[in-house]
Structure 1
Amino acid sequence: MAALVLAGTSDIVVAVASSLLVIASLLGLRGFRQFLDTRSASAWEYGGLGVILFMLIYWTFVSPHVNARSAMISGFIAYVRFSIGWAVLKYRPSERPKYAYYFVSIAATLGAVVHAIRSVAYGLGLAQETTFLQPTPLNVVFLGMATLTLPCLSVGMVLLAHDRLSERMERLATFDDLTGVLSRRAFIARAEAITRATAAAKSTFSIAILDIDNFKSINDRYGHAAGDVALAHVASLISRAVRASDVVGRIGGEEFALLLPSETKEAAGHLVDRLRAIIAASGSCVPDRDVVSTLSAGVDAFREGDTLASVMARADAALYAAKANGRNCVVVAPAMETLTLGHQDGAGFGGKIMNG
């Protein structure tokens, strides 16, 4: 359209500028759809674009018809804007703030309404043009609204891009990039919230600390890439096996924590032992390598007067006892004890050992 202002309204300029406008409109729709992770464009939309470009040339050079050309272009842009507004609402991530998505949808819909009115007016002969974008009252309103809605749409897209960037940054801060489970900081934050709620309700929860057995030997023998594959494999099995209410986090190199709300440590011990058995029976965790991962785990439960740190410390001590007992087992901490962190004697620890 800037070319029309600078170069006049010759047929060639009108045809080129109008062609670029409809092509850019469809590309814009495709961009929004790709951003929203849905289909980019239908084959019939490309076919419709081809028909529009053909008729644009026909009504410009072969059988000039300004009204038909204006109605066709505005109708197509109205379709594009309506599609953008609908797609932004339909595919808006439910967990994200609504403002940016509603802003874009409203701006796109307003633009669509303006173009639809213009298309109908020229299509039904309610308005007449002798030259393209003749300064009629309808065109003045149309250009004014286009001047408002296009920048709003651009600003809205910037808002959506900012929201997407914020979402990715939040995810990086919340989830471990390699395993997909909660990062240590996010796990501790969520577990602290559950601890406060549990203390207020005078309820309980259990925590298990899980460690992949002999993980260093995987790295040393097959390389760190194989170790990463093993970590992702075990994390995937854990995530699929736990319940929706359970909280899983990676709290160290090959160490995971599992919080089981409202569970006694005895029940939690059985659940964790079932998880241990699933991983032990899962086969090789590294493609084309005979590498079978096993887990050792320590379990304890929250009780009155505890903090999250004290529960995790007792579960960690139980984990050391499981390692000392020969690995690939689960140790449930005893009911009352004075624990020494790093204790290596499973029998001296006094916890209940589960190994299938």
Structure 2
Amino acid sequence: MKSFSMATFLLISRARALQSDKDVRKKFCGSGYGYNCFCYMLLDPRILGTNIETVTFEKFVKSVFYVGKGTGGRPLDHFWDARKELEKPPNEQDLSEKYRRIGDIWKAGFGIPKHEIYHGASDHEAFVREACMIEAIQVTNLTNKMIFSSEMNPVIRNGRFSRDSLARALRCENAVRNNFDRRRYMAFCYVLIDPRVSGVKIETLTFETFVKSIFYIGKGSNSRPLQHFIDARNEMDKAPIDQKMNKKLQTIVDIWSSGHGVPKLQFSHGVSDKAALIKEACMIDAVQVKNLTNQKKGEFHGFTRKWDPTTKTEYGAWLLDRAGSTLTIDGFTLIQRNGLPEILRPKKPRKN
């Protein structure tokens, strides 16, 4: 295997990025396209600082809380809409995460930097650039609304399932139960939740916020969920140069570092391993793996391999709705760094 220096790696990466930039311009610039679009970012001055000379690339990226595209005065619409909501009585406000961030920055006495780039782009070109920047920063680090599956979005928007989608989800549940759960089993599904997104008040938790707060979906038996926290703690205890943090472990560590415990929710108890794997896979498809710290999609077995994407994601959305109902009854189970066992009983390892 060839060995590259960091400088060589950066040159190769930059060359690839420049080629991608040329490809986008070539594909989306031509007759039939308008060229009055641009991309823009909204920045948090509390992170960015006010001294341009001391702004590093890392600090700049961390300060970005919204990435968009538009024409004319589109970026200003966010501020007009935020002000309109903030002027309402508190009990009538419908504050998205973006509006709440804008309000917090104003309340702290700062103006909000607006950075426009790529002027003169076509609508399609601006969309591609916007999507690539969101992918690079990760939507979980932004206030852009997450894009879930086409079956999950209507449930979030309407707050309920249509009669037809509910009937289809129930047929899936019965089919999985009848084919994979004919005797007593020990497996279950679980989700790990980011309390910085969900908050800690169950009574104010909406289904949308619940889904957005999920950063990992899994299946297991016994104490399987605790292994994630033990792994995170063990990495924290290593010297920084020796730490190997994947996105899941880093999220757990970040939550602990912010002073929170990590909510763990278990549900669908007493199912077979295959049934739990199918349920896990459907939920991952519903939320979209790009919105999670799972490293891959789930596994389907038997007849479920032939399910179409709509069937999988409708069933996944229904399972998550049931999980949310469980949470409102059982409440949060918070996992703190202190109090974890040193190790769990050895068992067959499972890839994330």
* Alignment TM-score, normalising by the size of structure 1: 0.24
Task: Determine which structure has the larger strand proportion and give its number.
Answer: 2
Q: Which has the higher contact order (CA 8 A, sep 6+)?
A: 2
* Alignment TM-score, normalising by the size of structure 2: 0.24
